[in-house]
Structure 1
Amino acid sequence: MGDHPSKRAAGRIANELTDQIFEPPLRTELLRDEIFCQIIKQLTDNRNRLSEERGWELMWLVTGCFAPSTNLLKEVMHFLGSRRNQIAHDCVQRLQKTLRNGTRKYPPHQVEVEAIQHKTTQILHKVYFPDDSDEAFEVESSTRAKDFCLNIANKLGLKSHEGFSLFVKISDKVISVPEGDFFFDFVRHLIDWIRKARATRDGPTPQFTYQVFFMKKLWTNLIPGKDMNADLIFHYHQELPKLLRGYHKCSREEAVRLAALIYRVKFGEDKTGLVNLVKMLRELIPADLTKAQSPDDWKRGILSQYNADAGMTQDNAKIEFLKVIYLWPTFGSAFFEVKQTTDSSYPEILLIAINKNGVNLIHPQTKDILATHPFTKISNWSSGNTYFHMTIGNLLRGSKLLCETSLGYKMDDLLTSYISLMLTNMNKPPGGRR
């Protein structure tokens, strides 16, 4: 609050002092009343305007983190209600939300601290979408990921938010936010975790920026054309890169059909780019099929199909694209290239596709599905920085799949999320991981 001289004001990050104030009471419930009492004491008859302003900033932050005990709540509410400034009114509302939604796990995020320091109690957060658009959404200290997802889905006019998730991209990782977590808690935890992992012994503490994405995560109950907004913003743009990387088993005829649709999505009825079609093949044809025939043969086939679709809108081309790949057993998959050594009948480098049908093991060259393990048959799984392990069938007599991969955390998270959703839909409380 500025009442005590500080030697290190310059260069200090916004939440360095608030961490010192809020970390102990978040760990020890008895200290929470003490924090409220100290702030109220310093806000009473404080004749220093700057000190008082900072005191209200602290009160605003604390009311979004935790509530006082039942014994003290009435006194805190009385104090806040007796003050005539706008922040006191905001604090009452924040405290009511905290009582409803529960206590945070981590101290305020830097974004929250900087917001109140700049005299704004509304925090707008930019969210990016797969179609390269973005939009700002209001996020509160008490906003959980599920509420955030619902808010975005409503604003975008999606028919359902089931299967959608927030993802935080930080450094070289993209991590899904668990729907029950407070949004700012998760981001705070993630940054702290990566900072500790990357910290140099004597160097400066690295600063990390992050981006928030909203994407389809679990591809269940999805029929192309049923939810146009979801198809146009998410499904098409998320499925296109997987096709072009050559992860699906795709015939030449299907590749030609899809390439004509991809071109139409990009350019509509504008035919001027067709002369450069051969140079664009990488953006139109799956990587594993480009050499299946000559560039001129590809061009002839794509031109013919494009002309046959004359009059189709760019939006309808996206839907038609989805309708073709929807019929494939690998539609809506998250793909992982892993190295396995447990089963000599499988190739050492294996493509794993996790989708609504379960965990699919795919031959990386032929794209044939070698095995599909439904979620009901998977009894155990674990992951680390370099591996993903899974047990199929009985824990004692079941078979194991041991994979080397740096994306084990993503496989683990997807498997957990699909199984949790499956159990929820069976009207059973989702069980914890074994």
Structure 2
Amino acid sequence: MKKLWTNTVPGRDAMADSIFHYYQELPKYLRGYHKCSREEVHQLAALIYRVKFEEDKSHFQNVPKILKDLVPQDQIRLLSPDDWKRSIVTLYNKHSGKTREDAKLSFLKVVYKWPTFGSAFFEVKQTTDPNYPETLLIAINKHGVSLIDLKSKEILTTHPFTKISNWSSGNTYFHITIGNLVRGSKLLCETSLGYKMDDLLTSYISQMLTTMTKQRASRGSSK
């Protein structure tokens, strides 16, 4: 499992894309955590089918039964199973000759364009800020901590790591302070995964500080 996705660019390391990146990004995509266009959903469904079955078309008839493995869960009801099948078969045929590895890379290149690529996602409850919904999706990635509307998938705000002054966690909560401790804003989240959020935030911030220290050192030595 890749933990920090700071320098991940699809195509740079074919082995990592095939073994780690694709299989880590796929479940998050199928849970419906990313905001994506309808065209992208159709395109990705055909690519996922190709990764599963490569050139084997005998599974086309089963597409309506395996939609949950091809389409984000919140999008499946937008079309009838037969319409999904038609769309997937048409787009699959357009990609003829693509290997399983080609399809994995094409999938990653689409997901890479989204601001939520490489995120760890957490569904939490919050009651501290009336401006946000009670149930939130929090994404932690190289951009910082993003608060996302679980229904629309819109990013409500992103707090860069440089603005996060304090955070703590327990068995049932995750607490974060944005800005300075006196006048900053606080967000208290109910979650059983607070320790994971805490660990991830700590790791990203320590990596950021290490990078900043190295940059300062290299600037100093070049003077």
Normalising by the residue count of structure 1, what TM-score does the alignment of the two structures yield? 0.49
**What is the CA–CA distance in structure 2 between the aligned matches of 1:367 and 1:244, rounded to whole Å?**
13
Secondary structure of 1:339 counterpart: strand
Correspondence for 2:116: 330
Secondary structure of 2:213 counterpart: coil
* Match 1:285 to one of 71, 90, 102: 71
1:194-205 equivalences under 5 Å are none
Structure number with greater Rg is: 1
Correspondence for 1:354: 140
**What is the CA–CA distance in structure 2 between the aligned matches of 1:233 and 1:250, rounded to whole Å?**
24
Correspondence for 1:217: 3
* Match 1:228 to one of 4, 8, 14: 14
Provide the alpha-carbon RMSD of the alignment.
Answer: 1.0
**What is the CA–CA distance in structure 2 between the aligned matches of 1:428 and 1:385, rounded to whole Å?**
35
2:16 maps to a residue whose letter is A
The alpha-carbon deviation at position 428 of structure 1 amounts to: 5.6
1:225 maps to a residue whose letter is G
1:401 counterpart = 2:187: yes
**What is the CA–CA distance in structure 2 between the aligned matches of 1:290 and 1:280, rounded to whole Å?**
11
Secondary structure of 2:76 counterpart: coil
The alpha-carbon deviation at position 326 of structure 1 amounts to: 0.2
2:204 maps to a residue whose letter is Y
The alpha-carbon deviation at position 269 of structure 1 amounts to: 0.3
Unaligned runs of 5+ in 2: 216-223
**What is the CA–CA distance in structure 1 between the aligned matches of 2:214 and 2:122, rounded to whole Å?**
30
1:357 maps to a residue whose letter is H
Secondary structure of 2:198 counterpart: helix
Unaligned runs of 5+ in 1: 1-214, 430-434
2:18 maps to a residue whose letter is L
**What is the CA–CA distance in structure 1 between the aligned matches of 2:109 and 2:78, rounded to whole Å?**
24
* Match 2:32 to one of 233, 240, 246: 246
Correspondence for 2:104: 318
The alpha-carbon deviation at position 301 of structure 1 amounts to: 1.1
The alpha-carbon deviation at position 338 of structure 1 amounts to: 0.3
Correspondence for 1:37: none
Identity of aligned residues (%): 72
Secondary structure of 2:25 counterpart: helix
The alpha-carbon deviation at position 298 of structure 1 amounts to: 1.2
Aligned residues: 215
1:407 maps to a residue whose letter is L
**What is the CA–CA distance in structure 2 between the aligned matches of 1:354 and 1:216, rounded to whole Å?**
13
**What is the CA–CA distance in structure 2 between the aligned matches of 1:223 and 1:245, rounded to whole Å?**
22
Correspondence for 1:384: 170
List per-residue Cα deviations over 1:262-290 (Å, max 9, x = no partner).
11001100000011111110100000100
1:231 maps to a residue whose letter is D
**What is the CA–CA distance in structure 2 between the aligned matches of 1:268 and 1:220, rounded to whole Å?**
31
1:74-93 equivalences under 5 Å are none
2:67 maps to a residue whose letter is L
1:374 maps to a residue whose letter is P
Which stretches of structure 1, 4 residues or longer, exceed 2 Å deviation after superposition? none
Normalising by the residue count of structure 2, what TM-score does the alignment of the two structures yield? 0.95
Higher relative contact order (CA 8 A, sep 6+): 2
List per-residue Cα deviations over 1:289-345 (Å, max 9, x = no partner).
001122222111111110000000001100000000000000000000000001111
